[in-house]
């Protein structure tokens, strides 16, 4: 059995690593799954965040699941992407936005 090995130069290895390291930044910047209103995750009103996500997910033609799944997925993606850098107050607002989203979609 013959094994194939890829020979890469040192600079290429760094490029490969940086691509995998910053995948979520790339997705956030280049994904066209939802067209979100600018700054939606910085708003202080959970209901308005949920309403905006609902509008965006219902208007999108590029989603794979239901509008609810798409909206909730985008919200979770943002929360998970922020990780430990998300301030407790902001996280509470976004967690409340999840509750509002469930209410809006009646799930």
Q: How many residues does the chain have?
A: 107
HSE-CB for 102 with a 13 A CA cutoff: 6
Is residue 60 domain-resident?
yes
Is residue 76 domain-resident?
yes
The two tokens of residue 105 are 């979609």
Confidence of residue 90 (pLDDT cuts 50, 70, 90): very high
Q: How many domains does the chain have?
A: 1
Give per-residue pLDDT as tens, 13-71. 455 555 556 766 676 666 655 678 889 999 999 999 999 999 999 998 888 889 999 99
Name the residue with tokens 């590029």.
62
DSSP class of 41: G
**Of 68, 97, 63, 91, nearest to 79 (Cα)?**
91
Measured between alpha carbons, how far is 49 from 98 in angstroms, rounded to an integer?
A: 9
- Indicate the pTM of the whole model: 0.71
Is residue 11 domain-resident?
no
Domain housing 54: 40-107
């Amino acid at each position: 059995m013959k094994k194939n090995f890829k020979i890469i130069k040192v600079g290429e290895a760094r490029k490969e690593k940086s691509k995998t390291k910053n995948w979520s930044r790339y997705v956030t910047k280049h994904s066209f799954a939802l067209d979100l209103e600018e700054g939606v995750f910085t708003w202080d009103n959970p209901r308005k965040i949920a309403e905006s996500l609902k509008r965006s997910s219902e208007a999108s033609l590029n989603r794979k699941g239901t509008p609810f799944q798409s909206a909730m997925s985008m919200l979770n993606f943002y929360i998970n992407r922020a990780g430990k850098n998300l301030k407790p107050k902001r996280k509470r607002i976004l967690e409340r936005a999840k509750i509002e989203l469930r209410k809006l979609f009646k799930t």
